[in-house]
Every structure is written in C-alpha cells, then in structure tokens.
Amino acid sequence: MSQTTILVVEDNYIQSQLLICILDKLGFHTEAANCVEAATNILDTKAIDAALVDWNLPDNSGLSLVEARVKDETCTTPFIIMTAYEEPERIKEALACGAFDFVHKPLKSLELDARLNCALRFASLQKKYLELAIRDPLTGTFNRRYLQQQTDLFFSTPKNSLTLALIDIDFFKKVNDTYGHDVGDMVLVQIARLLSSHLRIDDYVCRIGGEEFAIVFHNSNGDIATTIMERILQKARESSWGTRGSDLKVTFSCGVVSSEEANSDLFAMLKSADESLYWAKKHGRNQVVRSQCNLGIKASS
C-alpha cells in the first residue's frame, strides 16, 4: 500500500520542521508549503491525503485556502486547522469555513495521530461513496450521473471537441427471454469489457440504460470515433457470448455525434445520437450510423 501523504502548511520554519519530524515518526509521508500559494500548487499537482494548515500565513489566511478547496464538491482532502488561538469562536469559525478539524499549538503527537487517523478514515469513506455514486454496479462502467457531470464540465468551457457514441444491444430482450437474465447480465458485462478495452486513456464508457451505453471520445472528431466503433462492432460479431459453447450471437446498433455538430449540451447530443441509433435500428441494426446535422444521416457499415 502506498504511504499516506500529509501536507504541512506552516510559515514558521522551526514549527514546520518539528511537525514534519512528528509526522515522520508516526509513519506519514509529508509535503511542506509556507504560504497559501505554495500549498495551492501542491494540492493542484500532488496526491494529498490530508492537510494540516496554520491559521495565519504570510499571503492569506489558512481559512481562505480551506474555503477555496472545499467549494469543490469532489474535494475529499480533509483540512485540519492548527493555531494557538484558544477561543471557542475561533473553532466555530474554522469549522464553519469547511475545516474537518482543529488542533491547538503546541501539537501533541498522540492527539495529532488520533485526529489525523479520524480525518483519513472519513476521507476514505467519502472517496468510496463518491466512487459508488458514479459507477454502474453490474458492469463497473460509469453511469449517467458521471456522464452528466463530465459533459457539463466540458460544455462550461468547451475546448477541442467531444464525440458521443450511443449503443443499444440488438434484440437484447430476446437474449433475456431465450437464455435467461443471468446470461443477459453476462452479455452486459462482456460488452462493457469489450468497449472499455478498445478505448484510449481519456475516453470512457457509461451504462445509461438497461442495454444502452454511451461512449465519450475526447479530442476526436466523429470520423475517428466512428472508425473505433466499427472496429468494436466487428469484434462483437466475431466474439463468443454468454456461457462457454453457447451459440449466442450479439451485435449492437450505434449512433455517433460530435460536439461540432450538436454543440450545446448533453441533452442535444443524446437526442442527435439517439436519432441516428433509431435510424440504424430501422435499417437492419448491427451498424454504426454517423449523425451529421447538416448533411443528413450517413450509414457507415
């Protein structure tokens, strides 16, 4: 297991070194910053499991750092404010701005260890639940919530392009009715694996309905995505499905749309991809259809 990294944000050099020494003895790896700006750079670029933040820092208050970071709902780093202030109002202020906990200086090793472990336990649960919230439990792919989050992010500051492929397994109801729901589930897992194994590092698969998946391609136009989907469909035609020795054949129909063609939001892209998918279903299934708003629909295989 990799070592837990604690960020120490403290402008007093001696106090910082003392704290690093305590954390080292407790078995933690440390990163150090002496101001809000340096801490922000570390938090932006390194994996930090928890942060100990001094209240008073030369460029801004430690609380401002905490407040800025916890604004992001996906931030799972717990922040512990450390200060010599004794007044309960101060504790209230630190916790109200989003700090997980509060420790008084001078720091005691035993108390610090207990508080850090409590914060780390909380963060680990939070990470687990955040992960569960964006995953489909059967196939392990992302779900519709993740697709919405990621595309909202893309359309808030659109850079380059994004292509969406929507697929629907052909005659899936027949698979369930003929072979049973357990084999149907197996097919869903297999198709998710097949899709995931053909994608590039930035692309991702989401199960968005019963037998419907959306694949998002980053920085690629509709032609590239169409070629990739055709390659995957060909693999599906050649693969064996369900249990060993089964005669089951599985194909899918697919609609592809690029953000250059339906550049407004996920809803518009899904609608356009769905029209192409519907066209594919109506015209024999087992094919990838490219949606081109201005040029009409083009079947590609």
Q: Two tokens at 250?
A: 């599985």
Of the pair 61, 300, the CB lying nearest Mg ion is at 61
Of the pair 22, 199, the CB lying nearest Mg ion is at 22
> Considering the complex, what minimum distance in angstroms separates the CB of residue 37 from Mg ion?
14
d(CA 228, CA 193): 15
> Considering the complex, what minimum distance in angstroms separates the CB of residue 57 from Mg ion?
6
Of the pair 35, 194, the CB lying nearest Mg ion is at 35
Catalytic residue among 37, 67, 86, 211: 211
SS (H, E, C) the chain: CCCCEEEEECCCHHHHHHHHHHHHHCCCEEEEECCHHHHHHHHHHCCCCEEEEECECCCCEHHHHHHHHHCCCCCCCCEEEEECCCCHHHHHHHHHCCCCEEEECCCCHHHHHHHHHHHHHHHHHHHHHHHHHCECCCCCCEEHHHHHHHHHHHHHCCCCCEEEEEEEECCHHHHHHHHCHHHHHHHHHHHHHHHHHCCCCCCEEEECCCCEEEEEEECCCHHHHHHHHHHHHHHHHHCCCCCCCCCCCCCEEEEEEECCCCCCCHHHHHHHHHHHHHHHHHCCCCCEEEEECCCEEEECC
Identify whether 211 is a catalytic site residue.
yes
Positions that interact with Mg ion (CB under 5 A): 11, 54, 56
Residue with the shortest CB distance to Mg ion: 56
Of the pair 11, 260, the CB lying nearest Mg ion is at 11
Of the pair 14, 295, the CB lying nearest Mg ion is at 14
User: Which residues does the annotation mark as catalytic?
Assistant: 211
